[in-house]
């Protein structure tokens, strides 16, 4: 890991990268703290687009099934890049999760969205990015009262350049082995979707990072 991880998920980030990304990225709230209207794709039970919806509304109970993506990137040593979500995020703030996740814009291919959002959040483009299937789930988040009803496109790949996280999106990050991931999950809160998308992506993860995963 870059350094020891903080024990309190609400505490300031323990990692100082000393880097300024200077990225102009999508945010969930405006300067006054009011949620911005960001559209995502609604899908049917087969994953076919049936319309659009405002992102925050789609995550309100009972939720609307929509398109999403999850990215798992690994370094040359086969360690997974995790991020801890920024405390200012409207959904699942301050918890650990996979490298990157999000929602394609309407008509945006999931692969393009995954690469775009990884660069926006972590300041680095994947050196390799491969499709690893899809998974559907309905996962309520008790901490926020929101729900994830998603048709999630999974991607695995490699990262070889330095990570430069955007502090508005990422509070901390770590490269972990499979053993370190298990220890971290036992000690720290993770996003409600992490274990589901991780297990669904495992075949692709093992092709990229090896059988130890």
Contact criterion met (CB below 8 Å) for 154 and 204: yes
Contact criterion met (CB below 8 Å) for 110 and 55: no
DSSP-derived secondary structure letter, 19: -
Contacts of 87 (CB under 8 A, 6+ apart): 10, 93, 94, 171
CA-closest candidate to residue 39, choices 112, 102, 111: 102
The per-residue DSSP string of 40-64 comes to EEEE-TTS-EEEEEEHHHHTSTT--
Catalytic residues: 101, 150
């Amino acid at each position: 890991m870059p350094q020891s991880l903080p024990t309190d998920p609400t505490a300031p980030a323990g990692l100082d990268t000393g880097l300024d990304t200077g990225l102009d990225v999508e945010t969930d709230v405006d300067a006054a703290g009011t949620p911005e209207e960001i559209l995502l794709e609604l899908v049917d039970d087969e994953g076919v687009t049936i319309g659009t919806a405002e992102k925050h509304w789609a995550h309100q109970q009972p939720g609307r099934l929509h398109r999403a993506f999850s990215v798992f990137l690994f370094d040359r040593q086969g360690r997974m890049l995790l991020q801890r979500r920024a405390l200012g995020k409207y959904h699942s703030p301050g918890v650990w999760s996979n490298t990157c996740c999000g929602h394609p814009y309407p008509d945006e291919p999931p692969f393009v969205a995954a690469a775009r959002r990884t660069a926006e959040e972590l300041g680095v483009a994947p050196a390799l990015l491969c499709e690893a299937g899809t998974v559907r789930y309905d996962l309520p988040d008790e901490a926020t009262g929101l729900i994830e009803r998603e048709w999630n496109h999974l991607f695995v790949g490699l990262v070889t350049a330095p990570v430069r996280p955007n502090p508005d999106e990422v509070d901390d990050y770590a490269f972990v082995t499979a053993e370190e991931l298990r220890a971290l999950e036992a000690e720290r809160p993770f996003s409600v979707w992490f274990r589901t998308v991780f297990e669904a992506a495992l075949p692709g993860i093992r092709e990229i990072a090896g059988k130890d995963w």
